[in-house]
Amino acid sequence: MIGLARGVFAPDLPASRPELAALCDALLEALDLTGREFDLQVAGDGEIAALNGAFMGLPGPTNILSFPAGDPARPEYLGEMALSLDAVSREAFLYGQPPGLHMARLLAHGLLHLAGLDHGPLMESLTEIAAEAAADRLGLAG
C-alpha cells in the first residue's frame, strides 16, 4: 500500500500513487522480488524527522527509513518504508542527479534493507543496477 502525506508536493518527482506503484513494481522486478509486498509512506521532512526520532533515536530528517517485517507467517510481506520527497528533491539537486533516478535509487536501497541486506559493496551494486533499470524502463533517467 502506498500512503501519501497531506501537503507533500513534488512536481519534479513520480509521486502520484500510479507513478509510485509503477516505479515500485519496476524495482521489485529488477531486484528479483516480484510478488513481494511492502507498505510505503511518502512524507515530507517533518513527518520523516518524527519517525527518525521515534524509531531510530536520531534527530532531524533522513531520506528513507526501512522497517523489515521478518514475519514467517507472511513471507511475501517485506515490511514498511517511509520516504521523504523533500529529501529526494534536495539531494537530487545537491548531487546533480535526475530526481526520478535518485528517487528510484533510494527506494531500491530501502527495498534491499527490507529484503535483509546491509550496507556494503553488494548492496551498492544491486541498488545502482535496480535504480538504473527502473529509471530507464519508466523514462526517469534524465
Label residue 19 by pLDDT band (50, 70, 90): confident
* Set of cell numbers at residue 42: 511518502
pLDDT tens string 81-140: 999 999 999 999 999 999 999 999 999 999 999 999 999 999 999 999 999 999 999 988
**Nearest-angstrom CA–CA distance, 112 and 127:** 8
End-to-end CA distance of the chain: 27
Label residue 141 by pLDDT band (50, 70, 90): confident
pLDDT, position 80: 94
The domains located in the chain, with CATH, are 2-138 (3.40.390.30)
pLDDT tens string 43-71: 999 999 999 999 999 999 999 999 999 88
Residue 8 confidence (pLDDT) above 90: no
Cell 513471507 belongs to 75
Q: What are the CA-CA distances from residue 74 to residues 28, 30, 38 (Å)?
A: 17, 22, 11
DSSP 31-86: TT-TT-EEEEEEE-HHHHHHHIIIII---S--SEEEEE---TT-TTEEEEEEEEHH
Rounded to the nearest angstrom, the gap between the alpha carbon of residue 86 and the centroid of all alpha carbons in its chain is: 13
Label residue 142 by pLDDT band (50, 70, 90): low
Q: Vertex 5, ends 80 and 34: CA angle to 5°?
A: 35
pLDDT tens string 119-132: 999 999 999 999 99
| Verdict on whether the full-model pTM lies above 0.85 | yes
Residues 6+ apart with CB under 8 A from 9: 15, 85
pLDDT, position 15: 74
pLDDT, position 70: 84
Is residue 47 within 8 A of residue 5, CB to CB? The reply is yes
Rounded to the nearest integer, the mean pLDDT of the chain is 91
Rounded to the nearest angstrom, the gap between the alpha carbon of residue 108 and the centroid of all alpha carbons in its chain is: 6
